[in-house]
């Protein structure tokens, strides 16, 4: 197995890339970040991926890409915070053709969860683990016995007649100028709904807001254990590289 693989994380505002030591679970060297193109069409975004790959010529051939979409067999089936032109596009095949290297695409929350389960906050937890990423929306990754159930998209479950992420995401907290007390009550409603369905042993709380976990953790209520994610904004990059390393091309 190649030791160093390029991981890329596509977000609504930026695209991050770095070489990842997939045996140690860490970024090697500098993380590169560029703005997500506007509009983020397949052609425009693949050009960015190609540039980032070209800036990392010493990594192994394959590339992992964490992407804000449901991904099945390389095809993007949804478009969250990216151009809707991606829907129905074989993202992996398009990127591989343009870059000239094998490329694996996977859901961005799934990528973050893989990093946390292998090396981070979920390490050695053999039960049911749910990774939650609070950002523009709410990303989710569901694991049982260390195995991923991909593309869960549980940020879209109903909460008070709307998508949960439209009520309890970190972006909503900012836009509505919610205190941590008010926002945490919404998060508690969401956690209770998740627990009623899945009875998890552990929630891993990710996204940028996890950096302030100590401030709002005492306000959260759950039967399951709650832990902050360990990899911060590197989780998607690391998890994407890990998934590419494990994939059969």
Please report the pLDDT score of residue 32 as a whole number. Answer: 92
Q: Would you say 4 and 58 are in contact if contact means Cβ atoms under 8 Å apart?
A: yes
Residue spans of the chain under pLDDT 70: 1-2, 57-60
- Structure tokens given for 90: 């074989």
Please report the pLDDT score of residue 58 as a whole number. Answer: 64
Please report the pLDDT score of residue 36 as a whole number. Answer: 96
Nearby residues of 246 by Cβ (< 8 Å), 6 or more positions away:
none
- Residue 35 in 3-state DSSP? strand
Please report the pLDDT score of residue 30 as a whole number. Answer: 86
Please report the pLDDT score of residue 61 as a whole number. Answer: 86
Query: From CA 146, how far away is CA 129, in angstroms rounded?
Result: 8
From the list 243, 236, 230, the residue with the least C-alpha distance to 8 is: 236
Domain with CATH 3.30.420.40 in the chain: 4-110+234-246, 124-229
CATH level 2 (architecture), domain 4-110+234-246: 2-Layer Sandwich (3.30)
- The CA–CA distances, whole Å, from 205 to 113, 131, 132, 188, 229 equal 10, 6, 5, 12, 5
Please report the pLDDT score of residue 64 as a whole number. Answer: 97
Please report the pLDDT score of residue 222 as a whole number. Answer: 97
Q: At the top level of CATH, which class does the domain 124-229 belong to?
A: alpha beta
Query: From CA 218, how far away is CA 226, in angstroms rounded?
Result: 10
pTM of the model: 0.93
Please report the pLDDT score of residue 233 as a whole number. Answer: 86
From the list 108, 114, 117, 118, the residue with the least C-alpha distance to 138 is: 108
């Amino acid at each position: 197995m190649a030791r160093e693989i390029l991981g890329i994380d596509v977000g609504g505002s930026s695209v991050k890339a770095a070489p990842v030591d997939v045996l140690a679970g860490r970024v090697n060297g500098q993380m590169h970040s560029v703005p997500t193109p506007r509009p983020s069409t397949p052609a425009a975004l693949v050009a960015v991926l190609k540039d980032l790959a070209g800036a990392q010529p010493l990594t192994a051939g394959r590339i992992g890409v964490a992407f804000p979409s449901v991904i099945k067999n390389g095809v993007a089936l949804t478009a969250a915070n990216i151009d809707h032109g991606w829907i129905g596009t074989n993202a992996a095949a398009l990127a591989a053709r343009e870059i000239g290297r094998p490329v694996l695409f996977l859901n961005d929350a799934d990528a973050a969860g893989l990093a946390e389960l292998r090396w981070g906050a979920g390490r050695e937890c053999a039960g049911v683990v749910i990774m939650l990423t609070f950002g523009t929306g709410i990303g989710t990754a569901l694991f049982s016995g260390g195995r991923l159930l991909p593309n869960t998209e549980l940020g879209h479950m109903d909460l008070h007649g709307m998508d949960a992420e439209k009520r309890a995401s970190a972006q909503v907290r900012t836009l509505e100028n919610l205190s941590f007390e008010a926002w945490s009550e919404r998060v508690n409603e969401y956690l209770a709904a998740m627990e009623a369905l899945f009875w998890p042993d552990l929630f891993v709380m990710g996204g940028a807001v996890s950096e302030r976990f100590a401030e709002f953790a005492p306000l959260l209520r759950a039967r399951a254990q709650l832990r902050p994610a360990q990899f911060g904004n590197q989780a998607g990059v690391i998890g994407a590289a890990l998934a590419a390393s494990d994939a059969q091309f």
